[in-house]
């Protein structure tokens, strides 16, 4: 009972001190771990490289002939990008940060980044990856590090809309298991495979950041709203560098 | 000196668990290295002697993992208590099989820790009125966690044993003086 009612903020000073002490260790271990992971992945792929190389030579020959047709596809792609009207990354004041820690528990959903209040980071700031994909919001800060609650955290709620149909709703986390787009009016249209972006309502998160793709559409238990299971566009466990929108 | 060293090991274990191991293991099944260290120590000494280290280990993990303070403390103490009871029952008679008995305790301790943390999390979610979509307690993490913990246990068991013997040896020298 004490665990449940203990106020979260009470231990913040202790947590800040701990974060400050742990920061250099976390940063070092995180970088070493990532490098080792990449090295293992590289070494594991050496055996397959020879076979793959021969295969690639064959593929290369056929790909040359496809280049011409791809030129046309490129034009179409450019047009679609304009139509999507996604938020251009360069219009934000971004602060790049390394991911130095992750939630080891199965139910949690946060990452720790190596930038904090000393770098102008404040709670509530949105965090994206390089492609303009929203991954979460800054939750707690200390001078040199910050905790970012991912979109899959159930404590997070972000206003979103369906890019194709314009249906508006609220996306909530499902404890690391995915995301749920909720509070969508019955009259609105949601389709499987639609792209979900931030709607900008509420003002805390800019409009046009990619969130994910709708996997399944269903009706809420009270039959009042539509819900959709949304699959994130990135694997949160593999995040190396993120950008905080200041 | 020994206390500082043990505290340092626990601190590094927690940092490894939150910053290093997530690079190699799937989310939700990251090995509980701090818990493994506590279980190894618990199997060797009296419960009262390991209690403070279980509390410290849990506290450090709570601080590092942003969950309410006390969740891992409670879990670690409960695991230490169970493991200590089991070690008294089995390790005394079967000392030759120590490695395998401690291994079994790691598996049991991991499951107890998983169930306690999962249950407390469910209660917390319910208490705070958050949307609970965490699913059933029986999922693949329930099987992966003990497996990964056993792998990590096999890697750190002998170095920890060696360290323990070093401290015991140093202590013996001091007593002789």
Q: Is residue A160 part of a domain?
A: yes
Q: Which of A51-55, A120-124, B38-42, B69-73 has the lowest mean pLDDT?
A: A51-55
Chain A residues 98-137 with a CB less than 8 Å from chain B: 100-108, 110, 112
Identify the band that residue B57 occupies on the pLDDT scale cut at 50, 70 and 90. Answer: very high
Identify the band that residue B169 occupies on the pLDDT scale cut at 50, 70 and 90. Answer: low
User: Would an 8 Å CB–CB cutoff place B118 in contact with chain A?
Assistant: yes
**What is the per-residue pLDDT for B107?**
92
Is A30 in contact with B23 (Cβ distance < 8 A)?
A: yes
Q: pLDDT for B5-36, tens place per residue?
A: 888 999 999 999 888 888 888 877 889 999 99
Give dist(CA B116, CA B109) in Å, integer.
Answer: 10
Give dist(CA B41, CA B58) in Å, integer.
Answer: 14
How far off is chain B from A8, nearest CA to CA, in Å? 6
For the cut 90, the answer to whether the pLDDT of residue B177 exceeds it is: no
- Token pair of B110, please? 């991991």
For the cut 80, the answer to whether the pLDDT of residue B49 exceeds it is: yes
Is A101 in contact with B64 (Cβ distance < 8 A)?
A: yes
Q: Which of residues B177 and A17 earns the better pLDDT score?
A: A17
Is B21 in contact with A33 (Cβ distance < 8 A)?
A: yes
Q: Is residue A2 part of a domain?
A: no
For the cut 70, the answer to whether the pLDDT of residue A107 exceeds it is: no
User: In degrees rounded to 5, what are phi and psi of residue B28?
Assistant: 95, -20
User: Would an 8 Å CB–CB cutoff place B71 in contact with chain A?
Assistant: yes
Give dist(CA B88, CA B146) in Å, integer.
Answer: 22
Nearest by CB to residue B124, choosing from A4, A102, A147, is A4
**What is the per-residue pLDDT for A160?**
92
Average pLDDT, chain B: 82
Q: pLDDT for B104-163, tens place per residue?
A: 999 999 999 988 988 887 777 676 665 555 566 777 778 888 899 999 999 988 888 888
C-beta of residue A219 within 8 angstroms of C-beta of residue A226: yes
Residue B119 structural domain: 2-22+30-161
Q: Is the ipTM above a cut-off of 0.85?
A: no
Q: Is residue A4 part of a domain?
A: no
Q: pLDDT for A137-162, tens place per residue?
A: 998 888 888 999 888 887 788 899 98
**What is the per-residue pLDDT for A89?**
56
Residue A236 structural domain: 9-246
**What is the per-residue pLDDT for B109?**
92
Preferred mutation among A20, A21, A24, A106 to probe B, highest tally of B CBs within 10 A = A106
Give dist(CA B20, CA B69) in Å, integer.
Answer: 22
Q: Which of residues A84 and A92 earns the better pLDDT score?
A: A92
Q: Is residue B6 part of a domain?
A: yes
The arithmetic mean of pLDDT across residues A52-56, rounded, is 81
Nearest by CB to residue A4, choosing from B20, B123, B135, is B123
Residues β-bridged to residue A95: A244
The arithmetic mean of pLDDT across residues A207-217, rounded, is 87
Q: Is residue B101 part of a domain?
A: yes
Q: pLDDT for B76-95, tens place per residue?
A: 999 999 988 888 887 766 66
pTM metric for this prediction: 0.67
Preferred mutation among B133, B135, B141 to probe A, highest tally of A CBs within 10 A = B133
For the cut 60, the answer to whether the pLDDT of residue A1 exceeds it is: no
* Number of structural domains chain B divides into: 1
Average pLDDT, chain A: 80
* Number of structural domains chain A divides into: 1
- Say whether A195 sits in a helix, a strand or coil: strand
CATH code of residue A211: 2.40.10.350
- Say whether A221 sits in a helix, a strand or coil: coil
% of chain A at pLDDT higher than 90: 5
- Token pair of A132, please? 């303009």
Nearest Cα residue in chain B from A34: B23
């Amino acid at each position: 009972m004490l665990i449940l009612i203990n106020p979260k903020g009470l231990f913040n000073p202790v947590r800040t001190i701990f974060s400050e002490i742990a920061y250099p260790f976390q940063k070092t271990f995180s970088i070493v771990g990532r490098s080792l992971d990449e090295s293992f992945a590289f070494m594991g792929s050496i055996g397959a490289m020879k076979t793959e190389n021969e295969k690639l030579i064959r593929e290369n020959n056929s790909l040359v002939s496809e280049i011409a047709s791809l030129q046309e596809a490129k034009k179409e792609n450019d047009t679609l990008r304009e139509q999507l009207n996604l938020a251009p990354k360069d219009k934000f004041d971004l602060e790049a940060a390394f991911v130095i820690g992750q939630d080891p528990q199965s139910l949690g959903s946060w990452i720790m980044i190596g930038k904090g209040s000393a770098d102008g980071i404040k709670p509530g700031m949105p965090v994206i990856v390089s492609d303009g994909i929203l991954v979460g919001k800054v939750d707690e800060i200390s001078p040199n590090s910050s905790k970012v609650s991912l979109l899959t955290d159930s404590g997070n709620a972000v206003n979103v809309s369906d890019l194709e149909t314009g249906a508006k709703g609220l996306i909530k986390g499902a404890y690391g298991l995915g995301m749920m787009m909720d509070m969508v009016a019955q009259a609105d249209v949601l389709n499987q495979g639609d792209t979900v972006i931030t709607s900008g309502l509420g003002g805390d998160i800019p409009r046009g950041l990619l969130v994910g793709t709708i996997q399944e559409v269903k009706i809420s238990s009270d039959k009042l709203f539509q819900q959709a299971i949304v699959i994130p566009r990135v694997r949160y466990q593999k995040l190396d560098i993120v950008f905080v929108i200041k | 000196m020994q206390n500082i060293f043990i505290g340092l090991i626990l601190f590094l274990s927690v940092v490894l668990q939150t910053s290093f191991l997530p690079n190699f293991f799937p989310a939700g099944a990251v090995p509980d290295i701090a818990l493994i260290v506590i279980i190894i120590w618990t199997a060797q000494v009296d419960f009262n002697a390991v209690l403070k280290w279980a509390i410290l280990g849990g506290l450090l993990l709570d601080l590092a993992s942003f969950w309410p303070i006390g969740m891992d403390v409670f879990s670690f103490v409960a695991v230490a208590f169970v493991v200590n009871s089991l070690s008294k029952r089995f390790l005394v008679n079967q000392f030759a099989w120590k490695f395998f008995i401690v291994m079994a305790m790691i598996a049991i301790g991991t499951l107890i820790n998983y169930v306690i943390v999962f249950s407390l999390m469910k209660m917390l979610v319910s208490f705070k009125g958050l949307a609970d979509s965490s699913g059933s307690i029986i999922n693949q993490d329930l099987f992966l966690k003990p497996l990964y913990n056993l792998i990590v246990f096999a890697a750190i068991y002998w170095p920890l044993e060696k360290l323990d013997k070093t401290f015991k040896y140093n202590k013996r020298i001091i007593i002789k003086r």
